[in-house]
């Protein structure tokens, strides 16, 4: 058996990163399939010295996203799969605000529309003790955190029960090596968006599942190895 389960993937941006590329990728990484992807980036952990610039650019890009009919080629964000997902997502956002979080943009279902549409949303100033930090958000909602240094970023990234994928942005070799070695996830992508590729083993750790699919490692998960010994 192989289980690929949920995730609360971190997207870490250090001060040494290419900020413009990181912001542009952050939008795609969160909004893939209208945010309904296990490996979509969900928690954006940004170094304090660049957090204002990152936040400003991210809010502007979120505000420009076109939400609407998925059959329209201009649409960038479509509906959620079911009314239950919409209801649950909205409840999570409201709980986050109740626990002290701040809505930077969005924060509610899209009004006056038919369908399960939710506004592209960014939540910030979330108390680290809030239970909402331990949940997966399955929809176009991003959680934004500021942190002073790499130690704090890694500790925060690893602080959930999930461990599917992680994206980290840095131009510093020492930071890169620590992120690769210390992030608890089945996949760590440096300066790129987490994605599955048939050439690479894919799967999670902790509550994000076990075993691997794809690549030679994935094929071997479903093969009984027969041992033969002859004297």
Catalytic residue ranges: 4, 38
Quote the tokens at residue 63: 């505000």
Q: Map residue 80 onto helix, strand or coil.
A: coil
User: What DSSP string runs through 91-145?
Assistant: HHHHHHHHTT-EEEE--SBPTT-SSS-B--EEEE---TTSGGGGS---SSEEEEE
Q: What is the distance in angstroms between the CA of the first residue and the CA of the last residue of the chain?
A: 34
Q: Map residue 187 onto helix, strand or coil.
A: strand
Handedness of CA 63, 66, 70, 73 (dihedral sign): negative
Q: How far from 195 is each of 14, 115, 185, CA to CA, in Å?
A: 21, 28, 13
CA dihedral 74, 80, 83, 86 (to 10 degrees): -110
Q: Would you say 59 and 122 are in contact if contact means Cβ atoms under 8 Å apart?
A: yes
Quote the tokens at residue 134: 């331990």
Q: How far from 201 is each of 122, 155, 177, 197, CA to CA, in Å?
A: 31, 25, 20, 8
Q: What is the 3-state secondary structure (H, E, C) of 143-156?
A: EEEEECCHHHHHHH
């Amino acid at each position: 058996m192989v289980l690929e389960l949920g995730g609360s993937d971190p997207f870490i941006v250090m001060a040494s990163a290419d900020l413009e590329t990181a912001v542009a990728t952050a939008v795609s990484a969160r909004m893939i399939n209208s945010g309904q992807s296990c490996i979509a980036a969900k928690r954006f952990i940004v170094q304090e010295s660049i957090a204002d610039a990152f936040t400003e650019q991210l809010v502007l890009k979120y505000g420009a996203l076109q939400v609407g009919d998925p059959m329209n080629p201009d649409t960038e964000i479509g509906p959620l799969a079911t009314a239950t997902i919409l209801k649950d997502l909205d409840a999570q956002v409201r709980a986050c605000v109740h626990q002290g979080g701040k809505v930077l943009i969005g924060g509610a279902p899209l009004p006056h529309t038919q369908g399960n549409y939710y506004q592209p949303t960014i939540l910030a100033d979330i108390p680290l003790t809030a239970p909402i930090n331990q949940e997966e958000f399955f929809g176009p909602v991003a959680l934004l955190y500021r942190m002073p240094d790499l130690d704090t970023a890694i500790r925060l990234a690893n602080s959930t029960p999930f461990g599917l994928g992680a994206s980290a942005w840095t131009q510093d070799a020492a930071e890169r090596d620590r992120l690769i070695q210390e992030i608890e996830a089945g996949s760590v992508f440096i300066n790129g968006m987490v994605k599955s590729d048939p050439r690479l083993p894919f799967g999670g750790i902790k509550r994000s599942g076990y075993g691997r699919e794809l690549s030679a490692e994935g094929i071997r998960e479903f093969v009984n190895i027969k041992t033969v010994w002859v004297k």
